[in-house]
Amino acid sequence: MELIESLDLSLHQLNGEILPSFSYLNFLNHFNVSYNNLTGQIPTSIQLQSFENLSYVDNHLCGPPLTKNCTTKGFSTDITNNGGSDEGSKVNWLYISIVIGFVMRFWGVVAPLFFIESWRYAYYQKLNLVGRKLYVFRGT
């Protein structure tokens, strides 16, 4: 079994941990255990850590090459989250950037109209002109 080059166990509803003996499979070129119900730490070996994260997707695994670290208390931490807990601490930066962009653009237009009187008069004169043109266009 040590000479196996390809092992695809994805989508087999497997439970439990990846056996430590998998670390002795030195000739593996392809390894995939994704979409199972595997738990625990990925056995430490140069071979198993060399496969990409997609080989371990949709499991409850931790340790390299995944971003989840295994801890002794059974709680995993996320490397990309500076060691914080996985649950409830994710920030959706897309929504934050949308809000910041809206606030900056809104005040970039409104603030000059609010504070510079000549701009405010010019703006309202332009709106009045456009409104009259629309009224005349609609009336004909």
Residue-level pLDDT at 87: 47
Among 57, 56, 54, 60, residue whose Cα is nearest residue 37: 60
CA distance 39 to 56: 10
Task: Say yes or no to pLDDT of 139 above 80.
Answer: no
Average pLDDT over residues 33-46: 86
Among 83, 80, 47, residue whose Cα is nearest residue 66: 80
Q: Can you give the pTM of this predicted structure?
A: 0.48
Residue-level pLDDT at 86: 47
Residue-level pLDDT at 100: 92
Residue-wise pLDDT for 76-131, tens only, equals 444 454 444 444 456 788 888 999 999 998 888 888 888 889 988 998 999 999 99
Enumerate long-range contacts of 69-76, CB under 8 Å, 24 or more apart: 70/40, 70/41
DSSP 10-71: TTS--EE---GGGGG-TT-SEEE--SSEEEEEPPP-HHHHTS-GGGG-SSEEESTTSSEEP-
Residue-wise pLDDT for 41-72, tens only, equals 888 887 788 888 888 888 888 888 888 887 75
CA distance 25 to 47: 7
Residue-level pLDDT at 72: 55
